[in-house]
Amino acid sequence: MTPRPHFFGYGSLVNRSTHDFVEAHPAQARGWRRTWCLTGHRDHAFLSVVRDAATTIDGLMAHVPGGNWAALDAREAGYARVRACDDVDHAVADPVEVAIYSVVPGRWPMKERMPILLSYLDVVVQGFLHEFGEAGAQRFFETTDGWGVGIVNDRATPLYPRHRVLTAEEGAFVDGAIAMRGLQVEAL
């Protein structure tokens, strides 16, 4: 049987409301760690992954409908698709081919100041809360580097194109996790 193409999503793709990949399953990627990435390709910090033998991250593994990598590559513009078949633990019984998207260091010029959009962070954490509960959302914070770039509060006027409205409980969780880590949130 030919392996079916899948990707491992570790950020906004964990939030099922941001995409229509119906066939998605919780999974873990061994040997990867998230990091907030700063490049000239975007106007704000965004998530990427780097190799880290000591870390395992949660995420969703989803089937690429029709094997159409071009559509997914367009959504993930700025990233390189990296083969990760041996790194991803999942419960899918059929043979799969798995890729993970990662920014290639040095591929894009760096910008000096690129904070994390709170609306983007909200989407990511909401996904982790729904898929992995509060413990999984806490693991997201613990297995992600680069928080020092700062966070800008754009909740009232979201700049992230796939923003979502949080419940009061979800917003309190995000705000509490930020405060617990002593992270600074600036006004937009």
Whole-angstrom Cα Rg for the chain = 16
> Which one is predicted more confidently, 78 or 11?
11
> Averaged over 87-108, what is the pLDDT?
83
Distance, CA of 167 to CA of 69 (rounded, Å): 33
pLDDT for 109: 54
Domains by residue range for the chain, with CATH: 4-187 (3.10.490.10)
DSSP 138: H
Nearest to 46 by CA among 120, 123, 111: 120
Between 168-180 and 118-142, two packed helices, what is the crossing angle to 10 degrees? 60
> Which one is predicted more confidently, 6 or 114?
6
Task: Lowest mean pLDDT of 34-38, 116-120, 123-127, 154-158, name the range.
Answer: 34-38
> Which one is predicted more confidently, 38 or 181?
181
pLDDT for 72: 83
Q: What is the pLDDT of residues 49-77, one digit of tens each?
A: 999 999 999 999 999 988 889 988 887 87
Place of tokens 């609306």: 119
CB 174 within 8 A of CB 122: yes
Residues written for the chain: 188
CB 57 within 8 A of CB 34: yes
pTM value is: 0.92
Element housing 131 (H / E): helix 118-142
Using a 10 angstrom Cβ sphere, with 0-12 exposed, 13-18 middle and 19 or more buried, the burial of residue 25 is middle
